[in-house]
Structure 1
Amino acid sequence: MAVSAWRSVGCAGLALLALAVPAAAPLAREWRTVRIATEGAYPPFNFTDADNQLRGFEVDLGKALCARMKVECVFVQEDWDNLIRGLRRDRFDAIMASMEITDERRERIAFSRRYYRTPPVFMIRTDSDVAGVSPEALKGRRLGAMADTVYATYLQDLYGADSTVRLYANQDEASLDLALGRLDAVLGDRIALSVWLKRGREASCCRFLAEPPFDPAYFGEGYGVGLRKKDDDLRQMFDDAIASIQADGVYDEIRARYFDFDVK
């Protein structure tokens, strides 16, 4: 056999051998330390205390997740506008800064499963006879929400045909009209409304009635840990840890320090 022919057959054989032997899978990273970025300016979720230490629901939750993942947890403070950029440039490994899971953000980063959501809730006057939150139960009622929010859209789409929907420049204006008897109910973010109810004079005016059925099409998917797309192993670790602490009660112990209602 000519040398050139032998080389051709030999190269072809090597090529077939390469196809037959699967490429070695990239080695999974052994995570020992996870650097978590947060803003530190959004209480009670993340903030700095008098000693300039990071505190808050997300900081406590992050520490519990790291303990469950058996890794060292290092929190770093970062301006909101730099969070995604810093993650992608490997300045830290994860974001826990009340970053909502959206399709737009998914184009740049990955997300863990949801670790909290802000429940929508209907608030009514303390002396109200409203008994339910379905469109039928609120038929003919005057309903309020902050304009240009998911709550406004929800009321307009599901209640607007049979109820009067009034929109306000901010949530406080809607809540005040409820207190003054100009509305029968308002729909808003339960966390924000809880703060409003604790301000003093208005606290006795109103009460929560119930949450509407949670619909991600209106209220979003919630808030997750932001991660680099390449770190799928770390995403799975966070997913497993979130599920674990929610199942055994650790999550609720942390949540109760900040909220008297479920945010899962």
Structure 2
Amino acid sequence: MADQPRYYAPHGGLPTQTDMLTDRAIVTEAYTVIPRGVLRDIVTSVFPGWTGTRAWILNRPVPGGATTFAQSIVEVAPGGGAERPEPQPEVEGFVFVLEGELTVTVEGGAHTLAPGGFVYAPAGASWSVTNTGAEPVRFQWIRKRYEPLDGHPPRVVVGDERDIEPSPMPDTAGRWRTTRLLDPEDLAFDMHVNVVTFEPGAIIPFAETHVMEHGLYMLEGQAVYHLNGDWVEVQAGDYLSLRAFCPQACYAGGPSDFRYLLYKDVNRQITL
């Protein structure tokens, strides 16, 4: 396993009274930008059934916005957690650790996850989370109402992104590569979660315009995104929510690799 990664995670706090009010937050009908500077103490949420926990909700289904998923950064103090994190039995969950260590028990199996570790819990699974360490743990939590498919039952997946060989994108000499945390060939999954890596200067060479919604949390580095005709700078700790068919491309600015955690809905026919 490679060295432990250093992903960005918010720690809260408040700006001083002398700081400027302006920031890079943007909300449009095509996309939303939540910069890391707005993830402060006074915008956290409390989840029922959790102890020692607060969360920054990054996306929820709203009119005119991305509608297939919810996404949060969850911070759990030592000794905190939840015996039943998911209140809706029809909802699947994906947890990806950013900072600290999290113990996840799913279907009777206990797993301690360090940064880069992840768990996929199918809808209806029995699972719990606990911080048994001495420091707060911070992690991404993606939730989606599962769309069952006959003959393709979902299963628990536990892993670490560092143990998965990334796939180079075609004609990029490996400078743009994707680490697929869920098997892209398995139709049991109605969402994919990937870690995408761009080396400095690498680009998405056209404006992707597709049916999948996206949630992108910037893990490391910085880049410029082209979203629905607008140029938007992003850095580690920023978040993008992209509606279906939002044109999107990016340019990794360096000096280090640009990496993000990517959600998208997949593998199902359009419900009419």
Q: Same fold (TM over 0.5)?
A: no
The TM-score bracket by the shorter chain reads: under 0.3
TM-score scaled to structure 2, two decimals?
0.22
Greater relative contact order (Cα 8 A, min sep 6): structure 1 or 2? 1
Relative to its length, the structure with more helix (as a share) is 1
Which structure shows the higher strand fraction?
2
Greater Cα radius of gyration, structure 1 or 2: 1
